[in-house]
Amino acid sequence: MIVVSLGTNDFNLALGEFPEREAFVSSYVAFLRALRAEYALAQIVLTEGAIVNDGERPQKSVLRAYVAEAVRRIGDSRVRAAPSNHYPGDACDVHPTRDQHAAMARELEPVLRAAVGWWAAD
């Protein structure tokens, strides 16, 4: 199982314009092909991450669309997207807190279980 969360820094509003769609998606697809070449049987789950959020500009929506396009282009049933909710951290740090990380894990768990064919925990 490989979980990839790319794009948080690329879509940082302080950097200006978002990455150009074709360049980003093509690079992501090349990266996925390299992963597949190295780990031929692995399930690969892609997420846009919990820090990126739509606000001043639609960073999460755009990144999520880029990820979806990469999944579509790779055309491999063992590569899937797992959308992430936004977790804003707290007043001291914009990175998710311990409790927010636990919530992120609860959201991701069913996607990972489905990817490897495990039944839900009782």
* 41 domain-assigned: yes
Compute the residue count for the chain: 122
Type of residue at 26: S
DSSP-derived pairing of the beta strands 44-47 and 79-81 = parallel
* 110 domain-assigned: yes
Nearest alpha carbon to residue 4 among 86, 63, 62: 63
* 34 domain-assigned: yes
CA distance 56 to 77: 35
- Going by pLDDT thresholds of 50, 70 and 90, the confidence category of residue 121 is low
* 98 domain-assigned: yes
* 121 domain-assigned: no
Global pTM reads 0.88
φ/ψ of residue 7, rounded to 5: 115, -15
- pLDDT tens column, 22-67: 999 999 999 999 999 999 999 999 998 888 899 889 999 999 999 9
- pLDDT tens column, 77-104: 999 999 898 888 899 998 899 999 999 9
* 20 domain-assigned: yes
* 67 domain-assigned: yes
- At 33, which CATH number? 3.40.50.1110
Number of domains in the chain: 1
Judge residue 98's burial from the number of C-beta atoms within 10 Å of its C-beta, 0-12 exposed, 13-18 middle, 19 or more buried: exposed
Domain around 92: 2-116
